[in-house]
Amino acid sequence: MNTRTPLAPLAVATALALTFPAIAAGDAQSFVDKAAVGGLFEVNSSKIAIDKAKDRNVKDFAQKMIDDHGAANAKLQTIAGEQKLKVPAELDATHKSDLEKLQNSTADIDQPYVQMQRSAHADAVNLFRSYAKDGDNAGLKAFAAETLPTLEMHQDMIEKIAASGAGKPAAADASTPAVKSASTPKPAAPVPGANSFTEDQAKSRIQDAGYTDVSALTKDDQGIWRGQAKKDGKSTQVALDYQGNVFAGAD
């Protein structure tokens, strides 16, 4: 396990870390599917970050993901095999797309990699917490419970890296800071930037702004979630940028 110093004070020597896609799994096979795909994505995306990231903390975090996931993925494979469950060997379309964006980027990848990790770890904690509590398979339920504290530790690590400035989206201009506060004026249009909102989080944020029937959400190449919704009985296009600003009729 990698113990290079800026991350060493946060490391737990025996920990196995996983970060996974999307929220809670309803049954054993669904949990295995999400866990395995997440594990593959972590290893593959972190290999790219090792080669292309510039920030030392980001590189060290990526190396830790690679080191930990070899053992963690093997453990999941063993448990799933014992339960006669299939383990996906390839990424799903969403994660393949994210991986290609990192691989093909000619710009600094520290920002998108960190934001992907923040979003993935938020989902991972929800996934494992849910299955550890209500899972339908004793072996996988124990695995989820044992792994959850490590996931929470890794989530703390990536949040500290983000807070230190690594991977923080740049402001659109001097009057629009990267981190939106209550005193930040709303920009006139969606602000491009690495968007860490998941689709469910984006939908919830738009609904909180007073919209209903939110649908067809997709994230464009500027990190802006776009879709359809209704407000006051009228259909409209909506957009959500990485700062959480919601816009109607945004093209």
pTM for the model stands at 0.58
Kindly report the average pLDDT of the chain as a whole number.
80
Confidence of residue 96 (pLDDT cuts 50, 70, 90): very high
Name the percent of the chain lying above pLDDT 70.
80
Flag the least confident range among 46-50, 168-172, 219-223. 168-172
User: How many Å apart are CA 60 and CA 66, to the nearest integer?
Assistant: 10
pLDDT of residue 198: 85
Q: Alpha-carbon distance 127 to 24, whole Å? A: 4
CATH topology of domain 8-163: Ferritin (1.20.1260)
Distances (CA, A) of 178 to 221, 226, 232: 18, 20, 31
Counts for the chain of helices (H) and strands (E), in that order? 6, 4
| Parts of the chain belonging to CATH 1.20.1260.10 | 8-163
The answer to whether 89 touches 108, Cβ cutoff 8 Å, is no
What are the pLDDT digits (tens) for 23-32? 444 599 999 9
10 pLDDT tier (thresholds 50, 70, 90): very low
Structure tokens at 29: 């096979």
List C-alpha distances in Å: 145 to 35, 140, 150, 234: 13, 9, 10, 46
pLDDT of residue 87: 93
